[in-house]
């Protein structure tokens, strides 16, 4: 017997749950403004989430998937990207989309049931939300192939959940990305639950990072409640991809503090005690502790930031609510570049019904 291959999965963390530095502080994280920027995005994301849930509860938004607790994964990953990179989010990465430049009004339109919400004015090359779990992973490989063929420095960043790692198409996409050394970063947003299915029931793999072993490239774990570690790991993976060294899978360990969506009731399948434990690890308080201790973050600053975020969210909600309804024929008007005669007759029939 001989050993023909061996693998190790590394785990990194910079800030511990209490905000104390445990790992090595990357250069960018020495800058107060840089950290405040990350902090602000996380706070804004959480404020947006709360508003979206409130809108749903009052019948003004459709089913919504809150990302509460997972702000560091979204913000850290998106903040590491350049504008020319492409984000392929799943459906819970509102924070990442916001950082990329998708507006809150657009997000609300989408979750409010209006396709115009996916016609981003900002990052026009970013993909819309992907609801069928994991089906966007092949698109990420495709986008990455486009960059490689055009010799562009862009990288595709694909985020999906722990549940998604059980999907065959995620595996197929990772495998081809490895085989073709494509510039793509896969991020498994491991929030420990796929609706009611806990992470250990999803797979016998000790880590999700090791899913990359099957695809022949590096997988690593990062503390997903530590925005500094997430941002740094993403930056390194992006650099590697950009310099032609292929894909990376980053497993970001975090926790879904809320229900799966507004139609879910998580108390049916997990106990409050577990949730309570994870509240002690959450990313916003963690960075705030560090900012306070290391950079003298002031109560007044905190209050101003929270007020500013709240105002931004309110503004967005108002313009969302004020948006004019889309004409129903829109469902025909973007079906094909040119509407075939057959469908055009249906369009006319629909309008004639008024």
Ligand X SMILES: Cc1ncc(C[n+]2csc(CCOP(=O)(O)OP(=O)(O)O)c2C)c(N)n1
Q: Catalogue the active-site residues.
A: 256, 260, 269
Question: CB-wise, 197 or 310, nearer to ligand X?
Answer: 197
| Binding flag, residue 301, another protein (CB under 8 A) | no
Give the nearest distance from C-beta 13 to a copy of itself in angstroms: 9
Stretch that binds ligand X, among 97-105, 156-164, 215-223, 297-305 (CB under 6 A): 156-164
The site partner of 156 among another protein, a copy of itself, ligand X, none (C-beta below 5 to 8 Å per kind) is: another protein
Sign, CA dihedral 298-303-306-307, equals negative
Does 258 participate in binding another protein (rule CB under 8 A)?
no
Residue 194 DSSP code: E
Residue 257 corresponds to which tokens in the numbers above?
């503090």
Contact 208, 192 (CB under 8 A): no
Return the exposure string of 184-216: e unless at least 16 CB atoms fall within 10 Å of the residue's CB, then b: bbbbbbbbbbbeeeebeebeebebbbbbbbebe
The contact set with Mg ion (CB under 5 A) reads: 161-162, 191, 194
Q: How far is CA 110 from CA 102, 184, 339, in A?
A: 11, 26, 24
**What is d(CA 77, CA 88) in angstroms, rounded to the nearest whole number?**
11
Q: Among 120, 127, 186, 193, which residue sits at the site for ligand X (rule: CB under 6 A)?
A: 193
Token pair of 185, please? Answer: 């970063």
Q: Which of 13, 47, 46, 7 is nearest to 229 (CA)?
A: 13
| Binders in 272-301 for ligand X, by CB under 6 A | none
Window 142 to 201, contacts with another protein (CB under 8 A): 142-147, 149, 156, 163-164, 166-169, 172-173, 175-176, 179, 194-197, 201
Among 66, 190, 202, 235, binds a copy of itself (CB under 8 A): 202
Q: Distance (Å, rounded) from C-alpha 59 to C-alpha 130? A: 23
Instruction: Give CA–CA dist 118/114, Å, rounded.
Output: 8
Residue of the chain from 121, 195, 343, 344 that contacts ligand X (CB under 6 A): 195
Identified binder of another protein from the candidate list 26, 62, 101, 153, rule CB under 8 A: 62
Nearer to another protein among residue 206 and residue 337 (C-beta): 337
Query: Does position 191 bind ligand X by CB under 6 A?
Result: yes
Contacting residues toward ligand X, per CB under 6 A? 92, 131-133, 160-164, 191, 193-195, 256, 260
């Amino acid at each position: 017997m001989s050993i023909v291959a061996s693998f190790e999965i590394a785990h990194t963390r910079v800030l511990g749950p209490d905000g104390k530095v445990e790992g090595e502080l990357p250069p960018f994280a020495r800058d107060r403004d840089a950290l405040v920027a990350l902090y602000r995005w996380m706070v804004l994301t959480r404020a947006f989430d709360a508003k979206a849930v409130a809108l749903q509860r009052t019948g003004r938004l459709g089913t919504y998937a809150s990302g509460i607790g997972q702000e560091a994964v979204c913000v850290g990953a998106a903040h590491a990207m350049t504008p020319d990179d492409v984000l392929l989010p799943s459906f819970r990465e509102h924070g990442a989309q916001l950082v990329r430049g998708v507006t809150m009004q657009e997000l609300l339109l989408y979750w409010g049931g209006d396709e115009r919400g996916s016609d981003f004015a900002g990052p026009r090359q970013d993909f819309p939300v992907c609801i069928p779990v994991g089906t966007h992973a092949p698109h990420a490989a495709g986008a990455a192939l486009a960059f490689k063929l055009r010799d562009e420095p862009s990288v595709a960043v694909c985020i999906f959940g722990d549940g998604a790692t059980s999907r065959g198409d995620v595996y197929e996409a990772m495998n081809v990305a490895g085989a073709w050394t494509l510039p793509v970063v896969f991020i498994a947003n491991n929030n420990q639950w796929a609706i009611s299915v806990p992470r250990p029931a999803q797979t016998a793999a000790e880590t999700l990072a090791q899913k990359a072993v099957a695809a022949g490239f590096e997988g690593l774990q990062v503390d997903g409640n530590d925005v500094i570690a997430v941002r740094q790991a993403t930056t390194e993976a992006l650099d590697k991809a950009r310099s032609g060294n292929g894909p990376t899978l980053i497993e970001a360990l975090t926790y879904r503090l809320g229900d799966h969506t507004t139609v879910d009731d998580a108390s049916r399948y997990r106990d409050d005690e577990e949730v309570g434990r994870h509240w002690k690890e959450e990313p916003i308080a963690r960075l705030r502790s560090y900012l306070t201790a290391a950079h003298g973050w002031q109560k007044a600053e905190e209050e101003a930031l929270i007020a500013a975020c709240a105002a931004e969210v309110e503004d967005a909600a108002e313009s969302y609510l004020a948006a004019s309804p889309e004409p129903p024929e829109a469902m025909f008007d973007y079906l094909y570049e040119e509407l075939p005669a057959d469908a055009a007759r249906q369009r006319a029939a629909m309008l004639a019904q008024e």
